[in-house]
Amino acid sequence: MTAESSNTPRSQPESLRARALAASITVKDLQESRDWYRDVVGFTVDRVFEHEGKLRAVALKAGAVEILLTQDDGAKGMDRRKGEGMSLMLTTAQNVDEIAARIKERGGKLDSEPEDNWGMRAFRFSDPDGFRFTVASERKQ
């Protein structure tokens, strides 16, 4: 931040300044999705939420990124398409090609192979319910 920018008045009313974004994803089979995100993509299980002995949600982490998986209750139909019309981007300082290779080695399927676009190297994959993700290198300056 430059001295000049620190003296610039903020817009009023003040705009939203979030520090993180966590996603909550409703899945068809919570245990299958938990295992897939953990074993195929490489997330770690942060917390498990049970009610009356039944698994209801799982909080996953990958670095600073958090995803909450919740069990679909079927109220809108168990076979409805999920993840329609949205994609989540995970940025990393890690080698994107190595991450893509590990996902494939663990049985995952990529929607697109790693390629260079917009100053980043990135690839895409979808989870078992159709939620789409892009994994990208941090933007080069």
Taking only the tens place, the pLDDT of each residue in 44-97 is 999 999 999 999 999 999 999 999 999 988 777 777 777 777 889 999 999 999
Per-residue pLDDT averaged across 23-32, rounded? 92
Strand, coil or helix: 112: strand
CB 27 within 8 A of CB 80: no
Say which CATH superfamily domain 21-137 falls into: 2,3-Dihydroxybiphenyl 1,2-Dioxygenase, domain 1 (3.10.180.10)
Bigger pLDDT: 110 or 76?
110
User: Residue type for 69, please?
Assistant: L
The distance of Cα 47 from the centroid of its chain, to the nearest Å, equals 16
Residue with tokens 């940025």: 91
pLDDT at 141: 47
Residues 6+ apart with CB under 8 A from 115: 121, 122, 123
pLDDT at 19: 76
CB 66 within 8 A of CB 60: yes
Rounded to whole angstroms, the Cα distance separating 4 from 41 reads 43
What percent of the chain shows pLDDT beyond 70? 93
Q: Where are the domains of the chain?
A: 21-137
